[in-house]
Amino acid sequence: MSPTYDALKLPSHIKTILVSGAGGFVGQELVKLLLELFPDVKLIATDIIEPPRLIDDEKRFKAIKADLGHTSQVEALFEGEQIGGVFALHGIMSGGAEANFDLGYAVNVDSNLNLLKQAHSHANEHAFKPTYVFVSSLAVYGGPKAVPESRVIPQDTPVIAKTSYGIQKQIMEMYVYDYGRKGYLDTRSIRLPSVTIRPGAPSTAASSFLSGIVREPLQGVESICPIASSIDDPILDSMPWYCTRTKTLVRNVAYAMCMPETEFKKYEGLGRSINLPGIKVMPRQMIDALVEHGGKDKLKLVKFEKDQAVIDIASTWAGDYDSSPSESMGFENDDPATGYSMAVKDFKELLEAQGKLA
Ligand SMILES: NC(=O)c1ccc[n+]([C@@H]2O[C@H](COP(=O)([O-])OP(=O)(O)OC[C@H]3O[C@@H](n4cnc5c(N)ncnc54)[C@H](O)[C@@H]3O)[C@@H](O)[C@H]2O)c1
């Protein structure tokens, strides 16, 4: 029988978990969930910006501001601790890594390698082998087998990234795999689909409009849909986006640490890297979900301004992925028919709680 979330249980050597990128979108949600799921585990949340201090109990929770580009700051995180699990989430996202080549490599590769090496040194000092979850991205795929019409089959699709961000993730996956192969750490890489709905301000990423199409109008702000010239444009029914609901994803990330090493060793041929499940969503479904949860008047806030540059980038994204390997391991997926609408509902509730819903 496949494992289920009832099996959300940490291996016994994990008494303390370090989460990098804990001040970011996924990191903040992950830390909240870990605190809820594992009351007996100590959490160290770190980020270059001060991560939110979620609870006031030094024995259970530490929030540490650190730049992981500095070896001494990485060493300090492990000092005097018994870190049995690491979630490596920090990074520079696709738009930023493309715009600033040096920064992308410095953070997505160099500082990630600092963290990996330090986890290895830590393992050498203790009698246990830390479980290391590297958070990667489906952006490692590109090329002719990863276009909107494709359904990427991991075993058949070479990993050829088309962006610096994707290449940086690919490089780190290889490092992480080798530390696992050598037996230094129990490593696994999980490739995330786009996580939706991303809160906060619009980013410079070409994909930003995909969250923005819902996020801004629900707050009474205009958003631009750069792939269509009007609501009747057929492209809204033919340019798929592969995504996952934030709640589902965060649970899957936590689950990635619970699985025995043997499960990931089955994917030795794929570098112990797993594509997390997602769903294929058409832009029309997003607009329908906006109307469903925000009302018809919100549609007036979506401005259709076709931008060929964005279409060209979106044309390099694979529309669908075979997620049966990760689903058979017990990672959860959203319902393709209702998953996106659920993500919008969650986001609407968040805005309501923050008093930002228009
Ligand atoms: N959000 C998505 O849709 C998505 C999709 C695929 C993969 N991912 C991956 O998931 C992870 C988390 O993504 P996110 O959306 O939360 O990103 P995010 O940008 O919200 O968070 C990343 C965090 O890393 C921190 N950081 C950057 N440089 C640092 C440094 N030198 N030292 C310490 N911290 C530093 C940032 O301050 C930020 O808080 C990333 O590795 C990302 O590549 C995310």
Domains contained in the chain, CATH given: 5-195+245-275 (3.40.50.720), 208-241+279-321+332-351 (3.90.25)
- Please work out, in degrees rounded to the nearest 5, the angle formed at the alpha carbon of residue 211 by the alpha carbons of 206 and 213: 95
pLDDT of residue 144: 87
Cα 229 to ligand 1 centroid, rounded to whole Å: 32
CA-to-CA distance for 126 and 121, rounded, in angstroms? 9
pTM of the model: 0.96
Which CA distances in Å does 184 have to 78, 191, 299?
A: 16, 22, 53
165 labelled catalytic: yes
Cβ of 49 below 6 Å from ligand 1? yes
Q: Are strands 194-196 and 241-245 parallel, antiparallel or unpaired?
A: parallel
Residue 279, token pair as written in the block: 């769903």
Q: What is the pLDDT of residues 72-115, one digit of tens each?
A: 999 999 999 999 999 999 999 988 898 899 999 999 999 999 99
CA-to-CA distance for 158 and 160, rounded, in angstroms? 6
Q: Which residue stretches of the chain have pLDDT < 50?
A: 1-2
CA-to-CA distance for 198 and 212, rounded, in angstroms? 8
Active-site position among 141, 165, 177, 321: 165
Residue bearing tokens 């540059």: 309
Cβ of 90 below 6 Å from ligand 1? yes
Cα 349 to ligand 1 centroid, rounded to whole Å: 24
pLDDT of residue 1: 41
The gap from C-alpha 77 to its chain's centroid, in whole angstroms, comes to 23
- Please work out, in degrees rounded to the nearest 5, the angle formed at the alpha carbon of residue 184 by the alpha carbons of 179 and 190: 45
The strand order across the sheet containing 241-245 reads: 194-196, 241-245, 279-281
pLDDT of residue 131: 98
Cα 231 to ligand 1 centroid, rounded to whole Å: 33
